[in-house]
Amino acid sequence: MPNDTNKLWGGRFAAGPAAIMRRINASIDFDKRLYAEDIAGSKAHCAMLVAQGIVSPEDGTAIAQGLDRIKDEIDSGAFVFSEANEDIHLNIEARLAELIGPAAGRLHTARSRNDQVALDFRLWVRDAIDRCGDGLRELHAALIDQAEANADTVMPGFTHLQIAQPVTFGHHLLAYVEMLGRDRGRFADCRRRLNESPLGSAALAGTAFPIDRHMTAAALGFDRPTANSLDAVSDRDFAIEFLAAASLTGVHLSRLAEEIVVWASDPFSFIRLSDAFTTGSSIMPQKRNPDAAELVRAKTGRLNGSLLALLTVMKGLPLAYQKDMQEDKLPVFEAADALQLCLAAATGMVRDMQPNRDRMREVAARGFSTATDLADWLVRELNVPFRRAHHITGEIVRRAETKGCMLADLPLADLQAVEPAITEGIFAVLDADSSAASRTSFGGTAPSRVREAVAAARQRFLA
């Protein structure tokens, strides 16, 4: 093993590790993604050390300039990452020593890789939350726009995937607006809780140097420093919370994706997706496959798997830092990448889909979907108790089934044969459009309510 690696570990190690140990111990292949956060944290730490008189201004300037140069090298692709230096922290430290000499060794005063990685990871997750928040906002806007455009587009509402009652397409899309609103709230909660700086906790016990943790916390945009050094270096709740929020968002995206798959299928034909979000078949030229929706639906498994992976890594770990925690980053990186891609794909599909309004209205009238309206009419107009109205409606539905017609097509005589008090006024509630328009309760599907809900959603989620 090269002697420089032994020096990074400290003088106690006389011999280097075996090759297999180097491979299992190294994390540079994936934690190099933390380079910008690592450099930002190091610059804040250096400025604080200078302000506290722990490092000279001259050394502080050299360190800061060296770190800026390293960032430029990594940004441009000129930086050579070394597995021998294990991780992003040691890679940057080794390069800094090459650039400015012994002064580089002063940067690690009053900190450890334990609080350094905890800081880097918090900064990265915080930015990932903001990126996901931007993606959620774009999807929110797409759904709200489509809901407004389809406030009076009648479609069948389903329970058990059986036709239940007519609803509006706008109302259906607004259901996902509510789900995503809760998702944004969970990410915001996660961000608020993680926004404490672990820097200065050192290995686990704090430091004897007269550091100013509030200064570094403020410089890095944190609300405050963490209150306990042991917790600060061993906590990964923020990453688990991020994955939990990502997983539930993925569940919501998968539900939307499944509906898009169903709606775009030939038996339904409720919507059409363009070539931008579909693919063809290698042998069936007529096919238009909703592959983007199917992949969004599938990537939920990756999100859920990432959450379970990190929960398993952290289960049963004693305080404080353990090397197990090196395995915390890959699940988070993979989940963040997958979620951002899914959000972009879902937004594209929502904006791309063209509803087939005639087909939706046609299917909405099937399955005796206005039976509840009939029962409600009996209660309102004839003062019939609802349970009896339900029974009467069941008898009328059976007559329509026998005749093979819709409820609206039954002759008045057939309706009156079941309940003599029924009048022609019943026909005003038996078509799908009237049914949907009548659901004017707050949060209901009536077009008037949908337009109100759209305006409210723009204020809640997009203002």
Of 281, 369, 434, 448, catalytic: 281
State yes or no: is 391 an active-site residue.
no
Q: Which residues contact 342 (CB under 8 A, 6 or more apart)?
A: 250, 253, 296, 299
What span, in angstroms and rounded, lies between the C-alpha atoms of 126 and 36? 13
Q: For residues 180 and 188, what is the distance between their CA atoms, to the nearest angstrom?
A: 12
Residue with tokens 């420093």: 225
Nearest to 166 by CA among 365, 461, 350, 430: 365
Stated as kind and residue range, the H or E segment containing 162 is: strand 162-168
281 is catalytic: yes
Token pair of 6, please? 């032994």
Name the burial class of residue 30, with classes exposed (0-12), middle (13-18) and buried (19+) by CB atoms within 10 angstroms of its CB.
middle
Task: Give, for 209, the enclosing helix (H) or strand (E).
Answer: none
Strands 224-225 and 196-197: parallel
> Out of 160, 201, 269, 441, which one is annotated catalytic?
160
- Rounded to the nearest 5°, which phi and psi values hold at 150? -120, 35
User: Which letter does DSSP use for residue 208 in this model?
Assistant: S
- Please give the full DSSP string across 139-170, using - where no structure is assigned: HHHHHHHHHHHTTT-EEEEEETTEEEEEEEHH
Q: Are 406 and 414 in contact (CB under 8 A)?
A: no
- Residue 272 DSSP SS3: strand
User: What amino acid positions are annotated as catalytic residues?
Assistant: 160, 281
